[in-house]
Structure 1
């Protein structure tokens, strides 16, 4: 501020005995300064006069008394703050409103502090611990269950099964066959060594076989079509003496009528309904 006998460079009014403002190389009255140069406060929308402190952040201006947290209304003058969607927030309000919450303690994870992320959830570094030994997991390998996260040694000690084939621990997934656990990649056909996971298979003497190997090695053949009889998916078949038929193949050898649930007679390797067998030399 200065007082001179000069005139305001903008309105030409005398400045003698009045407050004036030096702006660059020019001298002006307070009214002209506020009209021409004063910034408008983002808080109260009023001009920031020459006697007030003008606080500026990213091209926006506030009176010192208007520079407050948009949520708790506490002054932000000479305090740390965060800009969020054009609002200014103190660090505490920002943390409560915007920071990730720890999945363990449910408290905000403060900006600048280290947080651990796993499957879309967040933890303080000191809260991200093994459910069994309670030691921090950090970036070490872990295994997750519904009951929590576990370091690998604790998981193997508490929960793991060992593969019946390779005797190594099964950490996830697996197959159970005759009450024994197997890795998916270890559950193989006992004949051709094909992987059986997600495949249909048959059991023989407690060993698994793919359908091709089982049919080739063990399945009985239909006396009519000579194809394997597996009994899979509830398929029915007929046995008589030392022969077997698919139920759809158990038909009269002359008129082809189904003999399932009907009386029939045999002659050599053929079977006949009673009508077609009349007059034939047949055996029961």
Structure 2
């Protein structure tokens, strides 16, 4: 007696019927479609065994339902993109969502190279230097009055020249006595350390850091011999062509401060009146 051959799901005989094997189990067409066929995203009907199932990211369509959601044009064998996971032809997507070039005002097509800066977009071929008209690409550039310039053109056209090295200043500039300097060129005349952001002073139009200025030009304290800068409100005592720091102006014997008090001198020493009585 012949062995029966039935549908795995409904147990109906498959002799003389079309059927489909799935993992070695036979199913009649109806059961297979109900159990395993996908629903079309467009018409919501099952995609039967005799229909072509087109899929993209877990979404499925009949081949005749795979259309642009905007213009309803067939996307079979056509390039497409998606919006909210639904297919759109590249023309509709570009018109609706793609950026427009700031120069030619045309759509920048998906997949084409574009340049972006401060919320604006350009075709790569439209992103050019306003002076030499050459594409800027990924090179550095400067914007001025709404125009873009490659660095060589900007430097030739607009950049200030450093009074020290006579080269263009494009970044990190310093203004001193109404003259432009590179930050790295504006240095102490004595020690050559950069002065930008530091306290400094000048003599004969030359800039010095405070340490160099004091060492080179400041008077020396008659007591401690350290320089008296006199800068920034520093107080000092001057007498008989000699100077003292306020804190150094003390009696030679008892070390009491003589600032604002009477005092006596004995050769190079200064004394308070009490210590001076013993002379």
| TM-score calculated relative to the size of structure 2 | 0.69
On the 8 A contact 1:140/1:151 being kept in 2, the answer is: no
Partner of 1:168: 167
On the 8 A contact 2:100/2:122 being kept in 1, the answer is: yes
> What are the residue-to-residue correspondences of 1:55-70 with 2, within 5 Å?
55-57=54-56, 60-64=59-63, 66-68=65-67
Aligned CA-pair RMSD = 4.3
SS of the residue 1:215 aligns to? helix
1:199–1:104 distance in 2 versus 1, CA, 3 Å: farther
1:203-255 per-position Cα deviation (integer Å, ceiling 9, x unaligned): 22111234443333212111221101123444333333412222332334444
Partner of 2:248: 249
Number of positions where the alignment pairs a residue of Structure 1 with one of Structure 2: 264
Partner of 1:150: 149
Q: Quote the Cα distance in structure 2 between the aligned partners of 1:264 and 1:105.
A: 86
On the 8 A contact 1:65/1:75 being kept in 2, the answer is: no
SS of the residue 1:116 aligns to? strand
Q: Quote the Cα distance in structure 2 between the aligned partners of 1:145 and 1:248.
A: 56
Partner of 1:180: 179
SS of the residue 2:244 aligns to? strand
SS of the residue 1:31 aligns to? helix
Partner of 1:128: 127
Once the two structures are TM-superposed, the CA of residue 119 in structure 1 deviates from its matched residue by 8.3
SS of the residue 2:87 aligns to? strand
SS of the residue 1:203 aligns to? strand
On the 8 A contact 1:21/1:33 being kept in 2, the answer is: no
Worse-matched range after superposition: 181-190 or 32-41: 32-41
On the 8 A contact 2:142/2:151 being kept in 1, the answer is: no
Q: Quote the Cα distance in structure 1 between the aligned partners of 2:253 and 2:143.
A: 64
Worse-matched range after superposition: 45-54 or 107-116: 45-54
Once the two structures are TM-superposed, the CA of residue 66 in structure 1 deviates from its matched residue by 4.9
Partner of 1:81: 80
Once the two structures are TM-superposed, the CA of residue 171 in structure 1 deviates from its matched residue by 1.8
Unmatched segments (≥5 aa) in structure 2: 22-26
Q: Quote the Cα distance in structure 2 between the aligned partners of 1:135 and 1:266.
A: 82
1:230–1:97 distance in 2 versus 1, CA, 3 Å: farther
On the 8 A contact 1:265/1:277 being kept in 2, the answer is: no
| TM-score calculated relative to the size of structure 1 | 0.68
Residue 35, structure 1, aligned to residue 29, structure 2? no
1:276–1:106 distance in 2 versus 1, CA, 3 Å: farther
